[in-house]
Amino acid sequence: MNNRELGRWQEHKHIGDYGWGIILCVIILCCIGMWAVYYACLHDLKVIDPVRTTMMQCLWYLVGALIATTMLHLSEKQLMQWAPIGYSIGMLLLILLLVLYSREYYVQTGAKSWFAIGTLTFQPVEVMKPLYILMMGRLIVQDQQWGPHNNFNADWRLTRRLVIYTFPIIVALKIINDFGTTLVFLTIFIGMLIVSPCRFSFLWRVLLVAGSIGVVLILLATSSTGQSLLSHIGFKLYQFDRINTWLNPSNGVSDQSYQLWQSMRAVGVGGLTGNGVTHNAVYVPVRESDMIFSVVGETTGFIGCSVLLIVYMYLFYLIFRSAFASRRRFYVYVSTGVAVMLAFHMFENIGMTIGLLPLTGIPLPFVSQGGSAIIGDFMGVGLVLATQYPNVRSIFSVPRIFH
């Protein structure tokens, strides 16, 4: 074995170690998800069969794992070639959603985000997230063929291309009234731009502009005058209700105020060690999906919440370490996008559950109920694992998870 082959073998060996750690974290999160969904449905005031719902959750885990395993066998060349096809399919689904959205869910949520066939629903934007990450990774790699980033024009050239492929998604999400998911795509865009070849002198200007726009929007959204102005450019009343609920959860009279207040109560009564699974649970609406973290807080307390956060932090750490250990640019970009997506989901979901952030429909990765979100999460992990294993057989090497 020559030096080049030895280096590649050592690279695959270490990446395989990280991969097994990623798989372990996902399995732990799925187990927490099945237990939390069962508990949430068991104490729901609606007529929900907890066994059937949990079995459906398990079925979605199996489907997601099958998809991730299939993606594991795709090479870097195949991922690069199929990225435009996946992006086009995702955009087509978003366009169809503008017409074929579920009227029932639109009345309930104010968003046109779901297809519905009988009792089966599908949210295509969840699948679009990993497809978008894949396309962004391809664009960044292709841009490097145009030469080094040593001036403003080169940095702006790449940023412009990324914006061209991001803008249609933002427009579609605006039409279907899914502002929370818009924030996910914008966060992924910024995260992948940061690890791109763009120079720091260019990036800090972009971040300064984006931060300024964000501060202005927050100031407008938190004042009555600003809300009146934003309503004239397309923001909806229910979005302002979420802001007002976030600012005054105990004084609101809307359903969202009640949901947030009950979620905060559930997390609060958990205390240090939790109340276990046999006590009378605090009722939280839609607890099995958006407010699933309140189950962890109520039943396992601060200790259980800390363990869950540690699992997430270790998962993100392994994704970043495996990406940079591969020393392949495309792998770094895709893995970074997936890590940013999952991290934003986690922080936003937990933050809104405990009242630190406004309510959105962002699920907790691998834990919240919802087949579309679970498939999207597994597709992201599948991309990470696929970019780690140019030789798929290396995944069967002896694992060493902890370093």
Largest CA distance in the chain: 71
The pTM of this model reads: 0.87
Residue for token digits 């970009």?
333
**Residue closest to 183 by CA, chosen among 345, 395, 295:** 345
Mean predicted confidence (pLDDT) in 260-269: 87
Mean predicted confidence (pLDDT) in 211-230: 73
Comparing 3-17, 78-92, 189-203, 278-292, the range with the smallest average pLDDT is 3-17
Q: Structure tokens of 251?
A: 């004084």
**Residue closest to 61 by CA, chosen among 383, 381, 386:** 381
Comparing 156-165, 242-251, 372-381, the range with the smallest average pLDDT is 242-251
Provide the 8-state DSSP code for 291.
T
pLDDT band at 85 (very low <50, low <70, confident <90, very high): very high
Q: Write down the domain spans for the chain.
A: 7-394
Q: Where are the alpha helices (DSSP H) in 272-403?
A: 293-326, 329-353, 371-388
Q: What is the pLDDT of residue 396?
A: 41
Q: For residues 53 and 397, which has the higher predicted lDDT (pLDDT)? A: 53
Q: What is the pLDDT of residue 239?
A: 64
Average per-residue pLDDT for the chain: 83
* Segment (H or E) for 82: helix 76-100
Mean predicted confidence (pLDDT) in 46-63: 88
Mean predicted confidence (pLDDT) in 9-26: 69
Query: How far is 275 from 298, CA to CA, in rounded Å?
Result: 6
Burial of 242 (0-12, 13-18, 19+ CB in 10 A): buried
Question: Mind giving me the DSSP string for 194-250?
Answer: HTSS--HHHHHHHHHHHHHHHHHHHHHHTSHHHHHHHHTTT--HHHHHHHHHHH-TT
β-sheet bridge partners, residue 115: 122
Q: For residues 400 and 63, which has the higher predicted lDDT (pLDDT)? A: 63
The count of residues in the chain is 403
Q: CB neighbours (10 Å) of residue 258? A: 16
User: Taking 60 as the threshold, does the pLDDT of residue 213 lie above it?
Assistant: yes
Taking phi over 0 as left and psi of -120 to 50 as alpha, with beta for the rest, 110 belongs to left
* Segment (H or E) for 67: helix 50-72
Q: What is the pLDDT of residue 254?
A: 60
Query: How far is 7 from 372, CA to CA, in rounded Å?
Result: 39
Out of 15-24, 32-41, 101-110, 384-393, the most confident range is: 32-41
Out of 220-224, 280-284, 313-317, 361-365, the most confident range is: 313-317
Q: What is the pLDDT of residue 246?
A: 65
The percentage of the chain sitting over the pLDDT mark of 70, rounded to a whole number, equals 82
For residue range 138-160, what is the model confidence (pLDDT) as tens digits? Answer: 999 998 887 777 788 889 999 99
Q: For residue 101, give the amino acid letter.
A: Y
Provide the 8-state DSSP code for 96.
H
Q: What is the pLDDT of residue 349?
A: 93
What backbone torsions phi and psi does residue 276 show, to the nearest 5 degrees?
Answer: 80, -170
Query: How far is 324 from 198, CA to CA, in rounded Å?
Result: 17
**Residue closest to 288 by CA, chosen among 354, 379, 353:** 353
Q: Measured between alpha carbons, how far is residue 58 from residues 31, 35, 170 in Å?
A: 9, 10, 32
Mean predicted confidence (pLDDT) in 276-292: 82
pLDDT band at 199 (very low <50, low <70, confident <90, very high): confident
| CA-angle at 242, arms to 267 and 338, nearest 5° | 70
Q: Are 180 and 362 in contact (CB under 8 A)?
A: yes
pLDDT band at 402 (very low <50, low <70, confident <90, very high): very low
Q: CB neighbours (10 Å) of residue 92? A: 11
User: Taking 50 as the threshold, does the pLDDT of residue 403 lie above it?
Assistant: no
For residue range 127-141, what is the model confidence (pLDDT) as tens digits? Answer: 999 999 999 999 999
pLDDT band at 105 (very low <50, low <70, confident <90, very high): confident
